[in-house]
Chain A
């Protein structure tokens, strides 16, 4: 039963998450709220872990969630489920490549999906900000933001800076 649920949840993420990079996050946070396979906090930790382990976040979290709920079989099912829609769609599209690229319906759908994906991710960001950020966190966020304005850098740079900030804050007992 749990395997069927894993299949359903991750298959539908694979089928409906548009916009790449963090597009899977709104779905993954939604699962955290409704399925209790992992908590929102664990997911945030996972995103951090996933940025220093190989591979895309979506795959990392699918493997992790599958493992937490049903061990190695669960992680296989969840990972296979999230990539299966891609596989099927790519096979179909590769054969109809020219039609796909020039189809006006496809274009109109993608034109609509882009801002929709952006809105979903913005909602995740605001939600995380409201629920998890104290004054110290806000200060760190502002510092990171200013750094990003000075020069755009690799994601690992921001995570490195914030990890160091976390260690310092922990040493001084500012967290909790």
Chain B
């Protein structure tokens, strides 16, 4: 299939429609649509975009689509891919948003939502567990987790402020490492002379 604006949009619209249960399934879906069926990119590239999509803020599925779209057709490719991935989600909610309040009022539905609320909590804990295993690897990362958790849970500090603080901390950590590396280099130079 040719890589035109419309074709890219259509492909991502299809992926967006199949994207149920959160964004997790985006990788297998894109594999089937882009690698197997269309041969637009290879698996290795796709996995790289998946990793990249996670290192950019925002919704991963959207990031990944934009990366792939850009790779396929530059600026307009990214636009087409993003529109395609977002449109089904947008349309679905616009259609049900009006009904949602009425539906939620029904007693039967309230029981379902009560149960599902617990299910969501479970999913959040599972996500935390998974993130924990990937991200908390040493003393430094444990402290970051601990501070962010306390400030957010107990002091209700806004998530935005904490994320910005973490960004600065990351910059500070690297700068400090560089200064120390420079010092070590200086000392070893002194030793040599």
Taking beta carbons and an 8 Å cutoff, which residues of A are in contact with B? Answer: 12-22, 24-27, 30, 33, 41-42, 44-45, 47-60, 63-64, 67-68, 72, 75, 79, 82-83, 85-87, 89-91, 93-94, 97, 100-101, 104-129, 132-133, 137, 140-141, 144-145, 148, 154-156, 158-159, 161-167, 169-171, 175
Contact = CB atoms under 8 A, between A and B. Distances in A.
B124 A124 contact: yes
Contact of B96 (A21, A30, A49, A169): A49
A14 B136 contact: no
Q: Do most interface residues of chain B lie in helix, strand or loop, or is the interface mixed?
A: helix
B31 to A, nearest CB: 17
A112 B167 contact: yes
Given A86-B59, A170-B108, A116 B148 contact: yes
Q: Do most interface residues of chain A lie in helix, strand or loop, or is the interface mixed?
A: helix
Contacts, number: 351
A132 B55 CA distance: 33
A72 B147 contact: no
A73 to B, nearest CB: 11
Given A18-B163, A56-B19, A109-B167, A90 B67 contact: yes
A120 B59 CA distance: 16
A71 to B, nearest CB: 9
B108 A108 contact: no
A44 B117 contact: yes
A133 B119 CA distance: 11
B104 interface: yes
A20 B63 CA distance: 10
Q: How large is the interface on B (under 10, 10 to 19, 20 to 34, 35 or more residues)?
A: 35 or more
A64 B93 contact: yes
Contacts of A85: 57-58
Contacts of A123: 148-149, 152-153
Contact of A105 (B158, B159, B163, B171): B171
A120 B100 CA distance: 28
A113 B165 CA distance: 9
Contacts of A111: 141, 170, 173
Contact of A115 (B23, B78, B144): B144
A22 B114 contact: no
A57 B22 contact: yes
Contacts of A120: 148-149, 152, 159, 162-163
B6 interface: no
Given A22-B127, A87-B66, A166-B111, 4 more contacts: A20-B54, A47-B120, A106-B55, A113-B167
A45 B110 CA distance: 10
17 contacts: A17-B57, A21-B24, A44-B113, A51-B21, A53-B20, A59-B59, A59-B86, A75-B94, A82-B59, A113-B170, A119-B145, A119-B146, A145-B125, A155-B24, A162-B115, A167-B108, A169-B115
